[in-house]
Amino acid sequence: MLSNKKKYIVSGNSGIKAQIQFADQKQEFNKRPTKIGRRSLSRSISQSSTDSYSSDSSDDETSPRDKQQKNSKGSSDFCVKNIKQAEFGRREIEIAEQEMPALMALRKRAQGEKPLAGAKIVGCTHITAQTAVLMETLGALGAQCRWAACNIYSTLNEVAAALAESGFPVFAWKGESEDDFWWCIDRCVNVEGWQPNMILDDGGDLTHWIYKKYPNMFKKIKGIVEESVTGVHRLYQLSKAGKLCVPAMNVNDSVTKQKFDNLYCCRESILDGLKRTTDMMFGGKQVVVCGYGEVGKGCCAALKAMGSIVYVTEIDPICALQACMDGFRLVKLNEVIRQVDIVITCTGNKNVVTREHLDRMKNSCIVCNMGHSNTEIDVASLRTPELTWERVRSQVDHVIWPDGKRIVLLAEGRLLNLSCSTVPTFVLSITATTQALALIELYNAPEGRYKQDVYLLPKKMDEYVASLHLPTFDAHLTELTDEQAKYLGLNKNGPFKPNYYRY
């Protein structure tokens, strides 16, 4: 809004010409606020954006671990930011249910049978409204659940409160410390009189903690379901070393996860995360995306559509050729690091962006990560005395060099979309349904069907997950005739593609 010192004059004969005259040409719009002013503004923004429903600022400063909270049933077997936020969280869960048709369908079909009766599931995932729908669906299918967060920034406090109010032992809040993170996982696992028999993991931290601290628990665990690139990589390492104690289901590489959550979800959420944190305009910006897997493909497509100039780095010649054929310039990071406006990592690897790269970036370069783990950007190398960290708003930091150059670091190098924005519920419905079916499959599998190894979800289940979501679009599948099915050598009801088919 223009101040009262500005005067509008509108005139013209054949057309309308608008002039805006500024009475005071010396208005100092570009003058930076003082250091004190910046800090106070950052503090107020950070508090309001991380906890929308908090009514007591002093309460915010108390660690949830130091609070004595009970839900309306008198249970204190949880640790969340503020149990009083439960009503707000319940509304968010109800909104999410509208966009998660497959999970709601599973609930209806489970009214008679309870395929997870007796299952005791310990979970470590992002705690969002969508995860809440999954947890409550698992409960409807007969399971008992205990849950922690797989990311210190992605928990929605009000949703965690709603789950705790409903009787789910949830241990998570937004802005946990590293110590809090492992404490929460331990509170889920180390419970007197409660032994988990299934693991649902996102990133492998829960599996790692049990393996490290409570290895004997694996004697009663029937299986692990893992949904991230990072976690799956860790499982394959255990399997290769002969140390995987139980069967594991690799949900990440199922078609319904790879093609929908990784590709379509990131295609939308990358823009949302960058907009919310930086208010930037994408047109004409130079961006380098490190990695051209499904996540990288989604990010590149979205940024290209918005008019950005996109470069790609890749180690795999097949993915690299795909990037070239899609119209992206394949480069080494060193070649473009001085000129790009945004750096996005999507590799699942470590030290993709090093201190050397960070030193060479231009002023105000935005640096963020879309991979699961926080290892892709060497953030630890930035925590040195010569660099100044300045909090701008929640999940946004300026890291300032001695010469005044600064970069904009988002979510301290952790997962951007779930730390700084939200992701499309419908896509998460696909992933959550895949997770639920994987849990059902491993829990009910007869002894001997699955060895101590890592498996992909059966093709038939992938197709079933997709079919549950088609009614949302009023979509009508074509059915094979007997003659057509015989010609193709297929069952009329699927699976329709061999396991080696690449979608």
E-strand ranges in 309-444 read: 309-313, 329-330, 342-345, 365-369, 388-393, 396-400, 406-410
Instruction: Find out whether 314 is annotated in a ligand binding site.
Output: yes
Instruction: Find out whether 295 is annotated in a ligand binding site.
Output: yes
Cα–Cα dist 261/429, whole Å: 9
Cα–Cα dist 463/467, whole Å: 6
Residue in 463, 461, 458, 468 with CA at minimum distance from that of residue 496? 463
Instruction: Find out whether 297 is annotated in a ligand binding site.
Output: yes
Instruction: Find out whether 179 is annotated in a ligand binding site.
Output: no
* Residues 327 and 334: beta-carbon distance below 8 Å: no
* Residues 190 and 212: beta-carbon distance below 8 Å: no
Distance of CA 300 to the CA centre of its chain: 18
Residue in 331, 354, 334, 330 with CA at minimum distance from that of residue 413? 354
Instruction: Find out whether 298 is annotated in a ligand binding site.
Output: yes
Residues with Cβ within 8 Å of residue 502, at least 6 apart in sequence: none
**236, exposed or middle or buried, with CB in 10 Å at 0-12, 13-18, 19+?**
middle
Instruction: Find out whether 227 is annotated in a ligand binding site.
Output: yes
- What are the Cα distances from residue 173, in Å, to 60, 149, 422, 439? 11, 8, 16, 25
What are the percentages of helix, strand and coil residues in the chain, rounded to 5?
Answer: 45, 15, 40
Cα–Cα dist 131/159, whole Å: 9
Tracing tokens 């379509």 back to the chain, one arrives at 264
Q: Which residues pair with 406 in a beta bridge?
A: 400
Instruction: Find out whether 275 is annotated in a ligand binding site.
Output: no
Cα–Cα dist 80/356, whole Å: 39
- What are the Cα distances from residue 378, in Å, to 339, 369, 374, 399, 419? 20, 11, 8, 13, 18
Instruction: Find out whether 223 is annotated in a ligand binding site.
Output: no
> Starting from the edge strand earliest in sequence, which strands make up the sheet with 329-330, in order?
329-330, 309-313, 286-290, 342-345, 365-369, 406-410, 396-400, 388-393
Instruction: Find out whether 112 is annotated in a ligand binding site.
Output: no
64: preceding bond cis by omega (within 30 degrees): no
Instruction: Find out whether 202 is annotated in a ligand binding site.
Output: yes
Instruction: Find out whether 293 is annotated in a ligand binding site.
Output: yes
Annotated binding site for substrate: 128, 202, 227, 257, 261
Annotated binding site: 128, 202, 227, 257, 261, 293-298, 314, 417
Annotated binding site for NAD(+): 293-298, 314, 417
